[in-house]
């Protein structure tokens, strides 16, 4: 199975590549549109602003292959920005359309609640009982590592993989047969994060 990690020049992806190596998989970076044809599972661990990321993906020619990949329901694993871009829009960048794979909008945490923004550090995640294939052998709840200022307001509750709370309850991850995407960083979440990545890769492999 060939894992491809989408790289459009934003952020250091070494920790993600190292995490896959730790669970027995070698992943390669995808930097050009033609490389989509060489992979089985697409991993998008992006970071940065919603609008800037859309612009860069379009400028580098990666936006349309990414959209086509998701439209064709090929195996996809999204982390952080790779989760948020699945939605229709974001308060971070009004007027910029997301990928629209999942219904809903990305919203900003309200600092008026006394919250420190960004939401940074470990937080409790409660898994959805109807999606055990993704979190098998992982405690429920579990603690995972977050770094973000915006969160998806998910319009379809049936997609919810897990929930957390930071001043407001929100869906910290979604999943369906060919796709898992999470707001937290599995690659920074020690053993539990690595186990989640392993579960995800092994399940996505069954959809090929």
56-83 confidence digits (pLDDT tens): 999 999 999 999 999 999 999 999 999 9
Per-residue confidence of the chain (208 residues) as pLDDT tens digits? 999 999 988 767 999 999 999 999 999 999 999 999 999 999 999 888 999 999 999 999 999 999 999 999 999 999 999 999 999 999 999 999 999 999 999 999 998 878 899 999 999 999 999 999 999 999 999 999 999 999 999 999 999 999 999 999 999 999 999 999 999 999 999 999 999 999 999 999 999 9
207 by Cβ neighbours in 10 Å (0-12 / 13-18 / 19+) ranks as middle
| Model pLDDT, residue 112 | 81
What is the chain's mean pLDDT, rounded?
A: 96
- Are 38 and 77 contacting, i.e. CB atoms less than 8 angstroms apart? no
What pTM does this model have?
0.97
- For residues 199 and 138, give the distance between their C-alpha atoms in angstroms, rounded to a whole number: 10
- Are 173 and 180 contacting, i.e. CB atoms less than 8 angstroms apart? yes
* Cα–Cα distances in angstroms (integers) from residue 27 to residues 47, 150, 177, 181, in the given order: 18, 28, 21, 18
Hey, which residues are catalytic here?
80, 185, 187
- Could you tell me the two tokens for 184? 């937290």
| Model pLDDT, residue 57 | 96
Q: Are strands 150-154 and 104-108 parallel, antiparallel or unpaired?
A: antiparallel
| Model pLDDT, residue 201 | 97
* Cα–Cα distances in angstroms (integers) from residue 4 to residues 35, 39, 72, 86, 144, in the given order: 8, 6, 16, 18, 24
| Model pLDDT, residue 111 | 87
């Amino acid at each position: 199975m060939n894992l491809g990690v989408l790289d459009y020049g934003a952020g250091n992806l070494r920790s993600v590549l190292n995490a896959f190596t730790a669970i027995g998989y070698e992943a390669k970076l995808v930097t050009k549109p033609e490389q989509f044809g060489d992979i089985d599972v697409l991993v998008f661990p992006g970071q940065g602003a919603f609008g800037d990321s859309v612009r860069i993906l379009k400028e580098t020619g990666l936006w349309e292959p990414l959209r086509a990949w998701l439209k064709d329901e090929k195996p996809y694993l999204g982390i952080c920005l790779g989760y948020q871009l699945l939605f229709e829009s974001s308060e971070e960048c009004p007027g910029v359309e997301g990928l629209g794979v999942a219904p809903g909008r990305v919203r900003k945490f309200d600092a008026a609640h006394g919250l420190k923004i960004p939401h940074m550090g470990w937080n409790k995640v409660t898994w959805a009982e109807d999606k055990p294939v993704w979190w098998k052998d992982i405690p429920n709840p579990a603690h995972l590592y977050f770094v973000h200022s915006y969160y998806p307001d998910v319009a379809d509750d049936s997609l919810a993989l897990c929930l957390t709370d930071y001043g407001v309850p929100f869906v910290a991850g979604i999943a369906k047969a060919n796709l898992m995407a999470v707001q937290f960083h599995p690659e920074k979440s020690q053993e539990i994060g690595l186990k989640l990545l392993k579960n995800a890769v092994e399940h996505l492999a069954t959809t090929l």
